[in-house]
Structures are given as C-alpha cells and as structure tokens.
C-alpha cells in the first residue's frame, strides 16, 4: 500500500499544483474586475503575466532541481506557493491605491504583475523539481517527463472547469484563494519532508500564519461584492439622487443603473428616457404590446413599462440569474411581477422565441467596458428582425463618440443592412459634439417620425419628451465621413474599436 501511495505521490503533487495555478488565473479576472473592470486589456494582462510566471518558474525550477534535488526543496516551494497565494488578498488592498495615478494600461499590467507573477513563478517551479526527484533511469526520461506533464495538464484542465463552473459562484473568489493556499501548505507538510529543515520550515510556517492574519485584520477575506456570479461582482449601494434615495447597481467596475424601489416611473439615464418615448409611441395604439428586453440589469425599463402598460407582455433575456435575483431582492422588482425572465445568452434564446411576435425589442446589454460582440453582428440583427412585427422597432443603447469613435458608425452601418430605416437618437441636439455619450440606435422596416413620437407621448400625458432624431442630411454626411466596418460573425473587432474609449474612461478611477 505504501508503495502505491509513493508511486502516485508525484502525480498528485503536479496535478494539484497545476490545478491551483489555473484556479488562480481564472479567479484573477474576478479579483481585478471591481478595480479595473473586465476587458480585453485585463485578460491580456492576466494571461501574459501568468504565462510569464510559469515560464520563469519552469526555468528557475530546473536550475534549483539540479542543485538541490531533495524532497525538502519541493516542500519549501509548495509552502512558498501557499504563502504567495494567500498574499494576493492583502496585496490587493495595499497596491490598488498606489497604482490609481497611473495611466490605465501600465496600471493594469503592474497591478496584475504585483498580485499574480510570484505565485505563478513558484507554481511553475513544482513540475521540474518533481521530474528531477522521480527521474532515476535516464532510459525512461521521455516516459517520466511525458506522464508528469500529462498529469500536470490534466490538473490545469480540472482547475479551469472547476473554477469557472463551480467554485466562484459557490464559494466566492476570496474563499477560493484561501482554499488554494491551504491546499498547497498541506501538500508541503505532507510530502515535503520539512522536518529535515525544521527551523526554515517553522519560519515559513510562521510567515504563512502572519500573512493570513494580516488578510483577516485588514478585511481582505471579506468580499467587496454583495454577490459574486460567474459573470459579475455585483454590488448595490444607496445614494441620494435628484432629491430622492435610489439604489445603484454596480456590475464589476460599471455603474449600471439607478432604481427607485418605490417609484417604477423614475428614469435616471437619458437613453432610458428615449426608450420610454419610443415605447410610449407604440403603446399609444397598442397598450397590450409584446416587448423583449435584451439585458435586464436593474430592470429599470421593464418595471417602468409594467407600471405604465399593465396589459403589456414583457420578457427579459438576462444571462446572469444572480442579477435577476439582486433586482428582486434589492431593486424593487416584485416577486409577483408579470415580467418573464429567461436567464440565458440572448444569441441562443432568441432562436427559441416566437417569430413576428414583438412590437419592440430593447437592447440594453452594451457599455464602454464590456460589449457582447456576438450581439452586434449582421446575423444577430437578422435574428431580431425575425422576431419583430412588420412595423416593430429594435432600439439599442450604444456608448461611443460621434466622430472620434468607430463602433457607433459600424453598428449603424450594419443595422442598415438589415432594416430599411435606421435612426441615431439622443436627448439633445448636440450633433456636432464628440463627447463620450450614450446614444440610442433605433431601427424598423417602417419609418419612425419624431413628430409622431412627440405627439404620442403628449397624448399619453408624458410631456417631458426628450427624443431627438439626428437630421437625415447630417446622418448621411456622418455615415459617409469614413469607411465603416460591416460587423459579422466572422469579423467583429468590437474590442479594438472601443479600446480608445475604454482607456479614456478608465484613466480616471470612478
């Protein structure tokens, strides 16, 4: 029995260490999200830093293994990995503020390096040392190395799937990091022969206890999130706005929505008011309209329409079930609501919905931090069109600059390939402004007249109409100002288009 355990021990060590390394990498995105958001830049930095750490660890581990080919060497590496892993949490508290003054790109790279490079290096050292300790016959080198690396990769695969599908939403990121750290320390004690170097082992053990206590004392083990889902760090805060107390929903670093839990008619954002104007235009003649929302968030618009048009049929496609639960628990969404929610990805759910049913589809899944690119394409627009009635309206909010940005132009250009009439709307007439702004793009196969939108809202006694359509002459000149990309499933460079806007908006911390 002892022989079997000893033969399995090296594989258990590399399997667990590699799993821990990938767990840390996946968790890294969630840990950084409340500070710097989740973007192409965040994940590029995480993947680059972790790969650099593993590479350095493999190289350094090989050198150390040749000079100190002892089980205690492996024990100290595992113990140091456990210390470096738990140190991520207090380091986040200590390094986030000093990096705030830096431009966003160096800030992301330096913060990621400070938190995740050392654990990656140490965990990268484990496999070369294990190989050295188990390579007793040079004629079996390929066999030993191949098996150990295969088991190591299997551990990485398990760590990836386990973290993404189970651990984060079940335990939260900080508990996961603590678990990784404890697992590495336990392996160090169980397999590292640390008793042969008693005092260094005691010193490092004391360091682990000290770092853990520091994390507890400064609150690093307490999540900043109200809830952590597979998609977001979700927070709700109370704030006084417009002379009233509202609940503010944060998804990662994004301030997503304002909700007055006692007043579903309250709309804070200009694009929400434009959505309301367009919905009233439809509801004036069809109060039992069918409306589909792509993205739920704080459920501000669904609650508004449920209150204004109690006979309407409202359906929401919100990918994150935790966001829906938060809206119910804290943002005024009644548990007896008539609103039907589908917690699925919109691209797949729309394939299952009734063709030609909806008078209006509202897209509220885009921002300047994260854009689900598969919801911006020609193919998706065709899907939406198939769900609309003959005179139905598809309205989407887009964050960009009028002239300096590329995404808005390309999105409109792509919409015009599907719909006969496309309009760019804002709540004022500043069509020459190039400030960052949240526009509404509305599309239909039937023309929409601004005067008729205003008339319908006045007749419905909504006198504060804000909707302003971009004049047709200005629209055509703006569209022809430069070549615009056609966004398709095969070519959709949304991240690159929004990169300058993201860098600008993140340069000054919110």
For residue range 198-208, what is the model confidence (pLDDT) as tens digits? 777 788 888 99
Using DSSP, state whether 482 is helix, strand or coil. Answer: coil
Strand-pair partners of 248? 237, 258
Instruction: Categorize the per-residue pLDDT at 380 as very low, low, confident or very high, splitting at 50, 70 and 90.
Output: very high
- Domain identity same for 184 and 61: yes
pLDDT score at 35: 76
HSE (CB half, 13 Å, CA atoms) of 194?
21
The answer to whether position 264 is within a domain reads no
pLDDT score at 139: 66
b/e 444-480 (16+ beta carbons within 10 angstroms → b): bbeebebeebbebbeebebeebbbbbbeeeebeebbe
pLDDT score at 369: 66
Using DSSP, state whether 436 is helix, strand or coil. Answer: strand
Cβ-based burial of 508 (10 A; exposed 0-12, middle 13-18, buried ≥19): exposed
The answer to whether position 55 is within a domain reads yes
pLDDT score at 253: 74
Taking only the tens place, the pLDDT of each residue in 118-169 is 999 999 999 999 999 887 766 677 888 899 999 999 999 999 999 988 998 8
Q: Which two tokens stand for residue 254?
A: 């994004």
Taking only the tens place, the pLDDT of each residue in 308-337 is 999 999 999 999 999 999 999 999 999 999
- Domain identity same for 115 and 175: yes
- Lowest model confidence (mean pLDDT) among 64-68, 450-454, 479-483: 479-483
Contacts of 124 (CB under 8 A, 6+ apart): 21, 53, 54, 55, 56, 57, 58, 60, 61
The answer to whether position 246 is within a domain reads no
The answer to whether position 245 is within a domain reads no
Residue 71 has pLDDT above 50, yes or no: yes
Q: Measured between alpha carbons, how far is 273 from 256 in angstroms, rounded to an integer?
A: 15
Q: Measured between alpha carbons, how far is 67 from 77 in angstroms, rounded to an integer?
A: 14
Residue 411 has pLDDT above 90, yes or no: yes
Taking only the tens place, the pLDDT of each residue in 384-396 is 999 999 999 999 9
**Percent above pLDDT 70 for the chain:** 96
Using DSSP, state whether 427 is helix, strand or coil. Answer: coil
- Domain identity same for 421 and 286: yes
The answer to whether position 266 is within a domain reads no
Q: What global pTM score does this model have?
A: 0.86
- Domain identity same for 396 and 279: yes
Contacts of 34 (CB under 8 A, 6+ apart): 224, 225, 233, 235, 252, 253
List helix spans (H) across 398-493: 407-418, 450-459, 472-479
Cβ-based burial of 339 (10 A; exposed 0-12, middle 13-18, buried ≥19): buried
Strand-pair partners of 362? 293, 395
Angle at 252 between CA 246 and CA 256, to 5 degrees: 35
- Domain identity same for 307 and 219: no
- Domain identity same for 16 and 123: yes
- Domain identity same for 211 and 278: no
HSE (CB half, 13 Å, CA atoms) of 155?
24
- Domain identity same for 28 and 144: yes
Q: Which two tokens stand for residue 96?
A: 């986030």
Domain hosting residue 486, numbered range = 271-507
pLDDT score at 131: 92
Packing angle, helices 2-36 and 71-95, rounded to 10: 10
In this structure, what CATH number is given to the domain that contains residue 396?
A: 3.40.50.150
Taking only the tens place, the pLDDT of each residue in 13-63 is 999 999 999 999 999 988 888 777 777 788 899 999 999 999 999 999 999
Q: Which of 224, 258, 289 is the last residue of a domain?
A: 224
Are the C-beta atoms of 228 and 30 separated by less than 8 Å? Answer: yes
pLDDT score at 204: 86
Residue 508 has pLDDT above 60, yes or no: no
- Edge-to-edge strands of the sheet including 244-251? 227-228, 233-241, 244-251, 254-259
- Domain identity same for 92 and 201: yes
The answer to whether position 241 is within a domain reads no
Using DSSP, state whether 510 is helix, strand or coil. Answer: coil
Instruction: Categorize the per-residue pLDDT at 103 as very low, low, confident or very high, splitting at 50, 70 and 90.
Output: confident
Q: Which of 167, 199, 224 is the last residue of a domain?
A: 224
Q: Which of 208, 224, 240 is the last residue of a domain?
A: 224
- Domain identity same for 216 and 76: yes
Residue 89 has pLDDT above 80, yes or no: yes
Instruction: Categorize the per-residue pLDDT at 510 as very low, low, confident or very high, splitting at 50, 70 and 90.
Output: very low
C-alpha dihedral sign at 277, 282, 286, 288: negative
Give the pLDDT mean for 256-281. 95
Q: Please provide the average confidence, as pLDDT, over all residues in the chain.
A: 90
Taking only the tens place, the pLDDT of each residue in 337-352 is 999 999 999 999 999 9
Taking only the tens place, the pLDDT of each residue in 194-232 is 777 677 778 888 899 999 898 888 888 888 888 888 888
Helix (H) or strand (E) holding 255: strand 254-259
pLDDT score at 509: 46
Q: Measured between alpha carbons, how far is 333 from 54 in angstroms, rounded to an integer?
A: 46
The answer to whether position 238 is within a domain reads no
- Domains in the chain, number: 2
- Domain identity same for 394 and 276: yes
In this structure, what CATH number is given to the domain that contains residue 124?
A: 1.20.1250
Q: Measured between alpha carbons, how far is 78 from 481 in angstroms, rounded to an integer?
A: 59
pLDDT score at 145: 86
- Lowest model confidence (mean pLDDT) among 102-111, 120-129, 428-437: 102-111
- Domain identity same for 45 and 165: yes
pLDDT score at 181: 96
pLDDT score at 119: 97
Angle at 249 between CA 247 and CA 254, to 5 degrees: 145
The answer to whether position 214 is within a domain reads yes
């Amino acid at each position: 029995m002892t022989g079997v355990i000893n033969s399995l021990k090296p594989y258990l060590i590399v399997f667990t260490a590699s799993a821990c390394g990938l767990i840390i990498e996946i968790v890294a995105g969630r840990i950084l999200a409340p500070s710097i958001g989740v973007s192409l830049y965040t994940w590029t930095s995480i993947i680059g830093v972790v790969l650099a750490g593993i590479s350095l660890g493999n190289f350094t581990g090989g050198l150390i293994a040749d000079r100190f080919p002892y089980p205690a060497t492996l024990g100290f590496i595992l113990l140091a990995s456990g210390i470096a892993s738990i140190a991520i949490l207090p380091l986040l508290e200590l390094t986030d503020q000093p990096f705030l003054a830096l431009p966003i790109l160096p800030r992301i790279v330096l913060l990621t390096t400070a938190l995740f490079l050392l654990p990656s290096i140490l965990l990268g050292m484990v496999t070369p040392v294990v190989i050295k300790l188990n390579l007793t016959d040079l004629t079996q080198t390929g066999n030993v190395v191949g098996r150990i690396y295969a088991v190591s990769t299997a551990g990485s695969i398990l760590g990836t799937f386990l973290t993404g599908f189970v651990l984060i939403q079940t335990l939260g990121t900080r508990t996961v990091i603590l678990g990784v750290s404890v697992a590495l320390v336990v392996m160090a004690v169980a397999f590292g022969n640390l008793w042969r170097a008693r005092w260094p082992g005691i010193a490092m053990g004391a360091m682990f206890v000290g770092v853990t206590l520091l994390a507890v004392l400064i609150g690093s083990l307490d999540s900043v999130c109200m809830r952590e889902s597979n998609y977001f760090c979700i927070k709700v805060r109370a704030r006084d706005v417009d002379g009233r107390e509202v609940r503010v929903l944060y998804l990662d670093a994004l301030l997503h929505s304002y909700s007055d839990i006692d007043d579903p008619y309250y709309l804070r954002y200009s694009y929400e008011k434009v959505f309301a104007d367009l919905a009233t235009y439809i509801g004036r003649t069809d109060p039992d309209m069918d409306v589909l929302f792509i993205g739920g968030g704080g459920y501000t618009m669904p609650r508004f329409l449920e209150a204004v048009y109690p006979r309407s049929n409202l359906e929401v496609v919100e990918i994150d079930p935790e966001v829906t639960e938060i809206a119910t628990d804290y943002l005024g969404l009644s548990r007896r609501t008539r609103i039907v929610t589908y917690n699925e990805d919109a691209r797949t759910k729309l394939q299952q919905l009734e063709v030609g049913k909806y008078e209006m589809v509202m897209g509220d899944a885009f921002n300047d931090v994260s854009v689900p690119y598969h919801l911006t394409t020609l193919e998706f627009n065709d899907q939406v069109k198939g769900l609309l009635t003959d005179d139905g309206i598809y309205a989407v909010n887009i964050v960009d600059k009028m002239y300096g940005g590329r995404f808005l132009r390309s999105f409109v250009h792509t919409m015009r390939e599907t719909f006969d009439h496309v309009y760019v709307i804002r709540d004022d007439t500043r069509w020459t402004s190039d400030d960052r702004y949240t526009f509404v793009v509305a599309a239909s196969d039937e023309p929409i007249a601004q005067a008729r939108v205003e008339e319908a809202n006045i007749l419905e006694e909504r006198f504060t109409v804000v909707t302003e359509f971009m004049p047709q002459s200005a629209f055509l000149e703006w569209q022809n100002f430069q070549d615009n990309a056609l966004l398709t499933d095969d070519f959709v460079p949304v991240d690159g288009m929004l990169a300058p806007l993201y860098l600008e908006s993140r340069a000054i911390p919110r």
